[in-house]
Every structure is written in structure tokens, then in C-alpha cells.
Structure 1
Amino acid sequence: MLRIAVTGAGGFLGWHVRVLARALGWPEPVVISRGDLFDEAALAARLDGVDRVLHLAGVNRGDPVEVATANVDLAAALARGLRRCVTPPGAVVFANSVQAGNCTPYGDAKAVAAATLAAARPDLIDVLLPNLYGEHGRPHYNSVVATFCRLLAEGRAPQVHEDRQMELVHVTDAAARLLGVPEDGSWDPSMPMLRIGVRELANRLAAFADIYRNGEIPRLVDRHDVRLFNTYRSQCFPAHYPLPLPRHADSRGELVEAVRAHGTAGQTFCSTTRPGITRGEHFHLAKVERFVVLRGSAEISLRRVSEDTVVRFQVSGDEPVVVDMPTMWAHKIVNTGSDELFTLFWVNELFDPARPDTYPERVEAAEPVPAVLA
């Protein structure tokens, strides 16, 4: 269990680093703001004695002069603070880029930043990151994946102006590499890459969106398919939910098509829940999970990890609907009726007790809770 400090904690990579640290059960990171970076004494005090410093702060896009200057200045400020620490941090890690030194303002600034930090800490862990994608990326800024997913979520078609090969890494795998944790869950610090063309990426995401539009689960053949699908779902939530289900009725009764999965393995289970009882209070990093209330009434509530806003859905077996749990959102279901609640759950993978991808987290408050599987 490590105590870490993070610059750029509010960014795309920074949020995923904090989520993974929370899943690991580590203390809340020490967040180093831009203001902290340029207050040398305050910065040294905040960095003093931590186990690991992650330098994620930077500027990726914008005016070329600003991009170059900001990345160098941020690294220089951190280097000054590191030199003033009474008890130096155990390790310093720089989220560098594979573009470092490529004769662009951004690439050259990242190379200078790395050299600046290495002068203060010769044991600097310099991690060259490729293009990152993942849940809640900022469209038109963080990744073409985020941009395509947002367009598809809005019912628009991605436009491919230049088809080229890309190397993509899911941001949780990058976070695991930066945190220095072994592969022991829904992440892989070796950062497995997806090599894919821009047009092929657009077509794959469009196929996911087309199938999911009706609540059906697309075929997910590997870890990158699952994570691309989760990235798309993150751009859909919460506006696209709940999803209505096809219902068929005749003199015998009713039939509800709760899960239609296109060649995707999974596990289905059902539960009964007494009035007033809660199930859930956890989040997942990778698995796709579906809730369908078939009898009774309930409230499904969700909160994005490290944020405060709670999203709530009132659901009933009288009108069955789908609410799929987005990854990295704490969620729970509460029986709000006077009768027993009957709920169908579906996940895209068989439950593995050794790697459950289930992390305790209250929806209404941030403190951890005892593990509950469903």
C-alpha cells in the first residue's frame, strides 16, 4: 500500500490513476495542483516522504509556444520542489510520450521535461506512453477514440479524413505501469497495444453502436473490444438509459428479452431482495454488467468514482428496462417497494473469485464498504 503524489490528477490519465489506486485500496493520493507546483516550499512539504510521485501534468494541444513552454515549466517547477524535500520521495515517475524528441513543439518539450526531471532525480522512471484511450476521455482532445464515441453516442457518424495506423493502450493499463503494480486484476502493466487503422476503428465502434442501440450486446472478442465498448458506453451514460426491452405477450403471459449477446460469453443470475435491502455498493474496472428488474420496484443509483453527483433511475417490473452499469461508477440497487424484488443480472464474463473485478465503494459516500458480490 503506497502513498503517492500526483500532478495532473484532474486530467484524463490522472483520474484513471486515482481510480486504480482506489481499487487497490491505497490511501487517497496527494493531489499537486498547478498552484502547488509554483510554490516551491509548499510543494516540497507536500512531496516530502511520499512513496511515489507521478508527474502527469502537461499540455497536449493548443498554441505551439504554449505547449512547449508549459510542459518544460511544469517539469522545472517539480524538479525545484524535489530538490527541497527533506525526505525525498521513494520514486519519481514521468508520464512521457513516444513522441518525445520528434522535432515537434510537444515532442521536444517532453524530451526537455524528462531531462529536467532526470537532473533532479537521476533514478527517474521515464515511461513513454503511446496514444491512450478509455472511459470518459475528452472528445476532440484526449483521443480520437473519445471523439468517435461521442459522435456515435449523439447519433452522428465519425468522419475519417486520414487513414493511418495507430497504436492504442487502454488508460488503466498505463495507470498500472505508472503506479508500478503487478498484473493482478483488470489491468496489465505491460500495456498491451491495439494496432488499428483509423477507418477500421471508426467502423468497429460504429458496429458496436449500431448493435447496442437496441440494447443488444455486440460480440466482444478480446480485452480491447471490451474496453472500446466500455469507452463507447461511457459517452452514452446517463442520457441513453434506461433502455426499453422488447416484450411479447399472449394469453399465457409475457416474455421479456433481457439479454441478446452477439457471440459474447457471459453469466446470468437472478436474485430476490427483501423490501428496503440494498445490493451492490461497488464498482468495476472492466466488466460489463446489466440490471433488469422483473418484479417489484427499485431505485438504481450510481456515482462516478472520485466525484459527488449521484445518478438515479426508478425502475419497475411492470415496465422492465435495462440499466447497464458503466465501468468505474459505484452502483447499487435498493428495493423501494413493499414486496420482494426479483432482479436479473448479466455480466460479460464468468465470475472468477481470484480476479473478481469488484471493488467496494459506497454510492452515497466515498468511504469503502465490505465487499458484496451482487
Structure 2
Amino acid sequence: MKILVTGAKGFIGKNLVSELRNRGYTDIFEFSKETNLSSLDQYCKEANFVFHLAGINRPKDQSEYMDGNYGFTSLLLEILEKHQNNCPVMISSSIQAELNNPYGFSKKAGEDILFEYSKKTGAKALVYRFPNVFGKWCKPNYNSAIATFCHNIAHGLPISINDPSVVMNLVYIDDVVEELINALNSNETSNGEFCEVSVVHSITLGQIAELIYSFKESRINRSIPNLSNHFTKKLYSTYLSYLPENQFSYELKMNIDQRGSFTEFIKTPDRGQVSVNISKPGITKGNHWHHTKNEKFLVVSGQGVIRFRKIDSDEIIEYLVSGEKLEVVDIPIGYTHNIENLGDTDMVTIMWANEYFDPEKPDTYFLEV
């Protein structure tokens, strides 16, 4: 299948082309502002499907709206008709096509001419009125509040919100691309004469800003947001794509003593805490038990032994552990336990606890194994 993508270097186009290639599509005609217009003729002659994503949304003069959104669409359809190529044509419109503004007028005009072309030629018309689209590679300080918020907050720049109670209807770029590829395979989501992305998120501007600020703070307090919320998961991924390239990494606080070190890595409100424990040769750590706090130990380097004793018993249970055979050991409640490095090199243990450490309620009681 030969696929023409106009606006191929834009936000949606770049994501779409990348995923098409991931899925094995190789005959992709990429048309952008930099492409010679003469190439469009050959592309339109050969294409089996057209994704028309090119458009104008931030012109220097308002007259450019009609030229870019209606005029270029007219040209595209004229060339397709000249070659009698009645392949399906998808067009990216906007919910603003319903509004009385220059941008909306131009988008509506582009829709109308495609519907007319479809009636005349029999070509399948797929018109998507996208709400606000967000995700990686969207240009900040342009026409996307989320891109601007993510970029500015990640770079320590201010953001401006006139009314935090304004509700945004948003679609995520991966959901958009998934829907467009479904349309390519005649499995589009229809809603009357239009098509749509089925997954839409509604949230206020104030809540969006609050979430993004929390993402920035999470690198300081070592937390991870609640990713069971689908919008939060998508927004968090988007935010990370705007990090300055010299700030991908961040330091952790290592609690170091003569025995080795203990470092908190990740804390979550609902999935507990992950830490890294390093023990020097011959060192034993632990000798305590918990009422409710439970843990998992995973030795990833070195060798040692984890010992258990039920607090009302004299029997000691031992588990030999080694980085050469990765094995998770559960630490049940009511058992005092310790871990000893039996090797001659540092032993590294990944430790998970079902709750992050609260100094006011440590639930940790010293008792020798």
C-alpha cells in the first residue's frame, strides 16, 4: 500500500509516519512545506490512501487560514481527480469548525469541499474533528497549552493561566495514531458523517498545571504519580519528553555508613517504595520485624543469606541468595529478619516495601534473629 501523508513533518504527521514505519509500511510519501510541489502530482497519482494533515493554525495574517486549510485541500483534491485516483482521503479538521472564527471557517470549508469531492467521485471521505491533541513532539509556545506547560515547567519558566476552571477536551497522540491506522484498514470510528478518536479526556487547565508541577516535584521527592489513571500516565510520558537534554538524570540521596549504603529510588502512594541496599563484605543488616509492612528482597550482585525467625520461635530459616541466580524473597510480617553479605565484594539488593517509610509510624521493631 502506498500512503500519502501531507503535513508529514508536523506534530501528528511525524508521529503517524513513525508508527506506520514501526508496523512495516514502507511506501510512504511524505509531503511537507519543504517538499517540492511538483512531487505532489506523482504522489497523488500513486497513492492508495491519503492522510491530509497539512494545515495552518498560527498564520501571520488571517487570510492565510483559507489559503492553507481550504486552498491546499482544493489543490490536493484537484490533483487526485486529475489522475482519477479515488482512493480514501482522511482530513484533519478541528472542533473549531463549529465556531465563527477565521480558523473555524477555513476548517469547515476544507471539510465541505472533501464531502463534495466524495459525492462526485465516490472516494471515501474520513473527516476527523480533533479536539486538543497532546503528546511528544508537539511544538511549545505555539498552539498547545499542554506542550507549553510541559516545556516551560520542565525548563523552570513561568506559565500563564487566565481561568484555571476552563475544561479542556483532549486526545493523546498515540490514541490519534491508533485511530488513523484503524481508518487506513477500514476500521475507523464513525460518529454520523464524521470520524472520531474514541478516547477523549476532559480536565481543567488548573488540574493539568497542578499535575505537571507534581511531575517536576516527583524528581525531588522520588515519587511516581498514580499511573493507573490513563490521563495521568499519558501526561507524565508527555512531560518527560520536554525535559532539557542536560537534565535527564537526577541525583538520589545515598545514606552511607561503614556498612555500605541505603538509597530510596521510587516512592508511590499506592504501590510502595523501591530502594537500593549495598552491603559491604561480612556485613549484616536488618534484625527487625514489622506488624504490617512487608518487603521483597532481590539480590542482583554478590552473594549472601537472608535469615528469618518467627518472633515467638527459636527456629531460624535461611535462604541463600546470589546475583548469579535472581530470586525474589518475600519478607512476611511477624518474622524478624536480616541479610548478611557472605561474599568478598559488595552485595547489591533491590528492596521493595509495600509502603514508603513514615518516621512517625515506622512499624519497625529491633530484634536479633
Aligned equivalents of 1:128 and 1:239: distance in 2?
Answer: 38
**Alpha-carbon spacing, 1:79–1:22, altered in 2? closer, same or farther (3 Å):** same
1:118 is aligned to 115
* 1:247 counterpart = 2:247: no
**Alpha-carbon spacing, 1:158–1:168, altered in 2? closer, same or farther (3 Å):** same
Aligned equivalents of 2:222 and 2:268: distance in 1?
Answer: 9
Aligned equivalents of 1:213 and 1:47: distance in 2?
Answer: 52
**Alpha-carbon spacing, 1:199–1:28, altered in 2? closer, same or farther (3 Å):** farther
1:108 is aligned to 105
Shift of 1:199: 1.3
* Alpha-carbon displacement from aligned partner over 1:131-175 (angstroms, at most 9, x marks no partner): 101112111214100111111101234321123111000012112
2:175 is aligned to 173
**Alpha-carbon spacing, 1:217–1:69, altered in 2? closer, same or farther (3 Å):** same
* Alpha-carbon displacement from aligned partner over 1:188-245 (angstroms, at most 9, x marks no partner): x843111111112111211222113455322223221111001111110422122222
2:133 is aligned to 132
Q: Secondary structure at the match of 2:241?
A: helix
* Unaligned residue ranges in structure 1 (runs of 5+): 269-293, 296-341, 347-374
Q: Is the 8 A contact 1:72 1:112 kept in 2?
A: yes
* Unaligned residue ranges in structure 2 (runs of 5+): 188-195, 276-299, 302-347, 353-369
Shift of 1:98: 1.2
Q: Which amino acid aligns with 1:16?
A: N
Q: Which amino acid aligns with 2:182?
A: G
Shift of 1:130: 0.6
Pick the aligned partner of 1:205 from 201, 207, 212.
212
Q: Is the 8 A contact 1:51 1:90 kept in 2?
A: yes
Q: Which amino acid aligns with 1:209?
A: K
2:367 is aligned to none
Q: Is the 8 A contact 2:264 2:273 kept in 1?
A: no
1:216 is aligned to 223
2:92 is aligned to 95
Equivalences, count: 266
* 1:192 counterpart = 2:199: yes
Aligned equivalents of 1:262 and 1:202: distance in 2?
Answer: 20
Alignment of 1:22-171 (within 5 A): 22-27=21-26, 29-34=28-33, 38-39=37-38, 42-62=39-59, 63-85=61-83, 88=85, 90-122=87-119, 123-163=124-164, 164-171=166-173
Q: Is the 8 A contact 1:12 1:136 kept in 2?
A: yes
Aligned equivalents of 2:211 and 2:221: distance in 1?
Answer: 17
* Alpha-carbon displacement from aligned partner over 1:78-137 (angstroms, at most 9, x marks no partner): 111111225x25311001111114211111101111222233333211111111011121
More displaced 10-residue stretch of structure 1: 11-20 or 25-34: 25-34
**Alpha-carbon spacing, 1:102–1:343, altered in 2? closer, same or farther (3 Å):** farther
Q: Percent identity over the alignment?
A: 26
Q: Which amino acid aligns with 1:48?
A: K
Aligned equivalents of 1:180 and 1:61: distance in 2?
Answer: 29
Aligned equivalents of 1:25 and 1:135: distance in 2?
Answer: 22
Aligned equivalents of 1:343 and 1:60: distance in 2?
Answer: 53
- TM-score using structure 1 length: 0.64
* Alpha-carbon displacement from aligned partner over 1:269-320 (angstroms, at most 9, x marks no partner): xxxxxxxxxxxxxxxxxxxxxxxxx98xxxxxxxxxxxxxxxxxxxxxxxxx
Shift of 1:21: 1.2
**Alpha-carbon spacing, 1:149–1:92, altered in 2? closer, same or farther (3 Å):** same
Q: Is the 8 A contact 2:136 2:241 kept in 1?
A: yes
* 1:9 counterpart = 2:8: yes
Q: Radius of gyration: which is bigger?
A: 2
Aligned equivalents of 2:231 and 2:86: distance in 1?
Answer: 34
Aligned equivalents of 1:193 and 1:220: distance in 2?
Answer: 17
Aligned equivalents of 1:264 and 1:134: distance in 2?
Answer: 26
Aligned equivalents of 1:28 and 1:97: distance in 2?
Answer: 28
Shift of 1:178: 2.2
* 1:257 counterpart = 2:264: yes
Q: Is the 8 A contact 1:52 1:91 kept in 2?
A: yes
- TM-score using structure 2 length: 0.64
Aligned equivalents of 1:177 and 1:153: distance in 2?
Answer: 30
